[in-house]
Amino acid sequence: MKKNIIVGVTGGIAAYKTCDIVSRLKKQGFEVDVIMTRHAQEFVSPLTFQTLSQNKVVTDMFSEPTRWDVEHIELAKKAELFLIAPATANIIGKLANGIADDMLSTTVMATRAEVILAPAMNTAMYESSVVQENIEKLKKRGYLFIDPASGLLACGDVGAGKMEEPEVIAEVLTLRAKISDELKGCRITVTAGPTIEDLDPVRYFTNRSTGKMGYAIAEEAARKGAEVTLISGKTDLKPSVGLKQFVPVRSAQEMYEAVDRSFADTDILIKAAAVADFTPAEVADNKIKKKEGGLQIEMKRTKDIAYEMGRRKAAHQVIVGFAAETTAVVEYASAKLRKKNMDMIVSNDLTKAGAGFGTDTNIVTMIFSDGRSRSVDKMKKSGIADAILKEAGALWKSKKTY
């Protein structure tokens, strides 16, 4: 059976982009119903959406019914996903404050479907405290947001507030429609990316991690129905819209503090980040100047996040670590597994082509605390993520009887 998506269109110039979204969703095989606010009709005609969706477009709460039902309730029940694009400051404010005064806001209030909003508005409006507070309110209630892009806006300003492109929004909807119950009820925290350890205002120490493996795990976990918190060092990647929380960090200490805050509410911790083992003992206030001879920099150990969490691990919790090595890969990984009280460690050999940092693929061996191991040949990191989560999920389910 086709999945049904309700698309709500509000009064913004970006409404023209929503035509493309509806067209893409129909081509993907979804059943699409469109609700337009009165102001949306000033930008695009209902006939356009009716043609693209091949369904009657709902525009008025009090129009003559074509069949006997309470239309907003029937649409609310019918929805399996609910998209509002563009989502203006007005509709965001209404939903955040429980105002249901037209067909769109009333239907959203009545639905049990997942609601996804794609904001579009002037930069100053988007960044205003009231809009940001309303967005945070809705996020806490489980609404998902596709953050706007930055660029030249219709008003002539340049900045954040431009609705994300139709192909991206359609892809998000397609991914959300494929969510399973495989890890429903499981709270997963994933760390990803590198840490940055400052030396002075200009220089810092870091590593080659791009975060691709950790982000793939976080996205796959969300697709399997888990509540996912992603704690990430600086990367060029965009976090999945399905995450419960995204926490950007910079240093190893910041990552430790973020994991520490999240750990008590975590069922599975997956430590995919490349965290610095050492950081400068002192950070210079001013740029260190070039001088004759060498330069000695004193380093100190950073907090060992996996060890600290392993020491505090509760009976129901699962910890998955990573070991990226260039020699004695399995031996080093096995020792790390035991020392840090992990349930499972994912080892990879950085000397192998198609494995490690910066690639779209990986080659791993999963080693378990009971002595088992499982090797996975080269495949895309999304496939590796699926394999890791299947094993981690099985470990979590075996502990749920605590």
List the binding residues for CTP: 277, 287, 322, 336, 340
* Helices and strands of the chain, counted as H and E runs: 13, 19
Q: Nearest to residue 85, comparing CAs of 27, 28, 144, 125?
A: 144
Positions marked catalytic: 155
Return the number of other C-beta atoms located less than 10 Å from residue 265's C-beta. 10
CA distances from 261 to 254, 257, 303 (A): 11, 6, 15
The answer to whether 120 touches 152, Cβ cutoff 8 Å, is no
> CA-to-CA distance for 198 and 201, rounded, in angstroms?
7
Residues 6+ apart with CB under 8 A from 226: 183, 184, 186, 187, 188, 268
The answer to whether 99 touches 78, Cβ cutoff 8 Å, is no
Range list of H helices, 14-162: 15-27, 46-53, 71-78, 89-96, 103-110, 123-127, 129-140
- H or E element that contains 218: helix 212-223
- H or E element that contains 161: strand 158-162
Q: Pull the structure tokens for residue 269.
A: 């911790």
Range list of H helices, 230-380: 252-263, 305-312, 329-339
Decide: helix, strand or coil at residue 96.
helix
> CA-to-CA distance for 118 and 254, rounded, in angstroms?
30
The answer to whether 36 touches 58, Cβ cutoff 8 Å, is yes
